[in-house]
Amino acid sequence: MATTKKKPATKTTAAKATPKAKLVATKTAPRKTTAKKAATNKTQAVAANPFRPTKEQTPFLSFTFTTQSLYWLILSALVLALGAWVMYLNVKIQDIYDQVEINTQLSESYVKPMAEKAKAATQAAQ
């Protein structure tokens, strides 16, 4: 591949340069090219025994309060509060159903007094 060299742009002084000359100077300015580096494949040394257990950073049963612990605490409190609220609403709804059922049973089992039956019978006969 043959490479061609571009001529460097002519420099103009700020006093003599007009806006048109600045535009021409910026358009013809050569672009900087960077040389690409060849990628090198470095092989990492493989450990002799890759399945060997490593030392733990912290003991398993130790407890340290972190921001993640705070997030879990807030999340669990929200879940418990939401569960308690749903149970409260369920109890209120069941009470309403019980009241409706009691009212229906009372209205169906209502026995008219003898005076009302007689009055209804005389009205029907007329």
CA atoms of 30 and 53, how far apart (whole Å): 58
- Write down the pLDDT at residue 122: 85
Of 70 and 51, the structure prediction assigns the larger pLDDT to 70
Whether the per-residue pLDDT at 59 is higher than 70: the answer is: yes
Q: Which residues contact 7 (CB under 8 A, 6 or more apart)?
A: 30
Domain spans of the chain, in order of start: 89-126
Whether the per-residue pLDDT at 37 is higher than 90: the answer is: no
Q: Taking residues 97-118, what's their average pLDDT?
A: 86
Of 121 and 35, the structure prediction assigns the larger pLDDT to 121
HEC string for the chain: CCCCCCCCCCCCCCCCCCHHHHHHHHHCCCCCCCCCCCCCCCCCCCCCCCCCCCCCCCCCCCCCCCHHHHHHHHHHHHHHHHHHHHHHHHHHHHHHHHHHHHHHHHHHCCCCCHHHHHHHHHHHHC
Q: Taking residues 74-86, what's their average pLDDT?
A: 98
Q: How many CA atoms lie within 13 A of 23 on its CB side?
A: 3
Whether the per-residue pLDDT at 1 is higher than 60: the answer is: no
Whether the per-residue pLDDT at 54 is higher than 60: the answer is: yes
- Write down the pLDDT at residue 51: 75
